[in-house]
Amino acid sequence: MSEKRIISIFKKGNKKRQRVKQVAKFCINDHHDILVEILRRLDGPSLCSAACVCRLWSAVARNDSIWEELCFRQVAPRPSLSLRSVVSALGGYRCLYFVCIRPVLARLPKLLWSRDQLQLSLSLYCVHYYERLYVGAWLSDAPPSSLMFLRKPVNVV
């Protein structure tokens, strides 16, 4: 081969190496907001898996807006912003999802979510919150569990 050729191959190789180095500088873990945006688009099971990847992702996944999106994705029209403060006060969307929305979806997968279904879920969530914190000091054996019916029979011992 001629010298020029060898030099050009060498230069190309250098450039490639440089290019590879530049691409490698981006890491998703450095950009939590983008991570949140991505996680917001996941469905329930995937989101839960994602939350188990590493500590960082677990912490990021606690961002309530991700769960809010998950809870209300199928609801139309979107509930008002005032709901956000109420739900946060009651324990957050993540809790709402695990306590109410996920069992409901498991029981009724084809449910059409509209205002009424949402209202019912929120009512159940309120009941859950209220009785966990305020009722049941005298029900000494077990804490009251009005939402026991939502749990799968296998969990009920």
Other beta carbons within 10 angstroms of residue 74's beta carbon come to: 14
Size (the chain), residues: 157
For residues 2 and 82, which CB has a smaller minimum distance to another protein in the complex?
Answer: 82
User: Applying CB under 8 A, what is the total number of residues that bind another protein?
Assistant: 46
Going by C-alpha positions, the residue among 70, 75, 62 that lies closest to residue 32 is 62
- As given in the structure block, the two tokens for residue 5 are 């050729």
For residues 9 and 111, which CB has a smaller minimum distance to another protein in the complex?
Answer: 111
For residues 93 and 125, which CB has a smaller minimum distance to another protein in the complex?
Answer: 125
- Cβ partners under 8 Å of residue 34, min gap 6: 28
CB 102 within 8 A of CB 109: no
Site string for another protein, 38-57 (x = CB under 8 A): --------------------
Scanning 19-27, 42-50, 53-61, 107-115 for contacts with another protein by CB under 8 A, the matching segment is 107-115
Q: Which of residues 109-138 bind another protein (CB under 8 A)?
A: 111, 114-117, 119-120, 122-127, 129-131, 133-136, 138
Q: What is the DSSP letter of 78?
A: P
- As given in the structure block, the two tokens for residue 142 are 């077990």
**Could you list the residues that contact another protein (CB under 8 A)?**
79-80, 82-83, 85-86, 89-90, 103-104, 107-108, 111, 114-117, 119-120, 122-127, 129-131, 133-136, 138-139, 141-142, 144-146, 148-153, 156
